[in-house]
Amino acid sequence: MAYVSTALAALADPTRRAIFEQLGDGPRSVSALARGLPISRPAVSQHLKQLKEAGLVTDHADGTRRIYRIDPAGLGVLRQWLDRFWDDALAAFKAEADKEAEE
Amino acid sequence: MTQTITPAPIRKSVHVDISPARAFELFAAKTASWWLKSHSISATKSPIKDVIIEPRAGGRWFERGEDGSECDWGKVLAWEPPQAQGKGRLLLAWQINADFKYNPTLLTEVEVLFTPENGGTRVALEHRLIERMGERAAGMRDAFTRGWGSLLESYGKAAA
């Protein structure tokens, strides 16, 4: 569960979410990401570090640049979505069962 | 090397004040009466009219839109309605990938157990093998990364 909450905390920040969404279009270098955002390159690096620690992105060296991409194994967000999905579904199921029980 | 962390199964349970047999029927045979209409993966975006879980192992699990179009969710792996006041079990294959598309080669499991409890029923659900969505994604990275957009959108709405 620590893993999921780390991923969620990482995405709660709008800038990090914007970075994550950009990476959804394909791998990017830090400079390329910084060009599309109103923040400095070091600030982008800091956000990327947190996304990486949350298991949402991975990076590799390309010469002197670092290229970031979404980590397909980083299923924290997907799991969280499914968690909410089943919470909602079972709550609705229970509500309907309660109606039946009263009949 | 990329570090892979296996997501834990999702486990949920609720108590309902109806018998296991009725709880099973409501869950599996009258699904549309409680299924959230927003939980649709229909490509035609047609609102859900019905959610069907065919009553046999090997049966289909699908939604039917108001426009008549059908969209598969997966299939029935085990259909075991409770006998009298006994236990029941439903095992479904959830074959929706991270891009919210039906994928017959993906198989994650949703097991629902119906157990008598205090005159009613404990309904316990487990969604497992979620990590397979990641394994599949590794082979279709493009499709997967596109899916993150809609996923985030859902997340944003849910978190709002």
The answer to the question of residue B3 being in a domain is no
The average pLDDT across A59-80 equals 78
The answer to the question of residue B153 being in a domain is yes
The domain tally of chain A equals 1
Asked which of A78-82, A93-97, B129-133 is least confident by mean pLDDT, the reply is A78-82
Q: Which residues in chain B show pLDDT less than 50?
A: 1-5, 136-160
List the one residue out of B107, B155, B102 whose CA is nearest residue B133.
B107
List the one residue out of B63, B150, B46 whose CA is nearest residue B98.
B150
- Over 70: is that where the pLDDT of A76 sits? no
State how far the Cα of A100 lies from the Cα of A96, in Å rounded to an integer.
6
Domain that holds residue B134: 10-159
Higher pLDDT, B43 or A4: B43
| Contacts for B43 with CB less than 8 Å, ≥ 6 apart | B69, B71
Q: Is B17 on the interface with A (CB under 8 A)?
A: yes
Asked which of A58-62, A74-78, B118-122 is least confident by mean pLDDT, the reply is A74-78
The confidence score (pLDDT) of residue A18 equals 85
Q: Measure in Å the smallest separation between the Cα of B158 and chain A Cα atoms.
A: 8
Q: Is the separation of the CB atoms in B85 and B116 below 8 Å? A: yes
Q: Measure in Å the smallest separation between the Cα of B58 and chain A Cα atoms.
A: 23
- Bridge partners of residue B78, in order along the sequence: B91
* CB-closest option in B2, B36, B148 to A89: B36
CB contact under 8 A, A101 and B144: no
A48 CB-contact burial (10 Å; exposed 0-12 / middle 13-18 / buried 19+): buried
Q: Is the separation of the CB atoms in B54 and B72 below 8 Å? A: no
Confidence band of A72 (pLDDT split at 50, 70, 90) = low
The confidence score (pLDDT) of residue A6 equals 61
The domain tally of chain B equals 1
Q: Measure in Å the smallest separation between the Cα of B18 and chain A Cα atoms.
A: 6
* CB-closest option in B33, B141, B155 to A81: B155
CB contact under 8 A, B36 and A93: no
State how far the Cα of A27 lies from the Cα of A62, in Å rounded to an integer.
12
> What's chain A's average pLDDT?
82
Domain that holds residue A79: 2-102
The answer to the question of residue B2 being in a domain is no
Q: What is the CATH number of the domain that holds A79?
A: 1.10.10.10
Q: What is the CATH number of the domain that holds B149?
A: 3.30.530.20
The answer to the question of residue B70 being in a domain is yes
The confidence score (pLDDT) of residue A24 equals 73
The confidence score (pLDDT) of residue B99 equals 62
- Over 70: is that where the pLDDT of A58 sits? yes
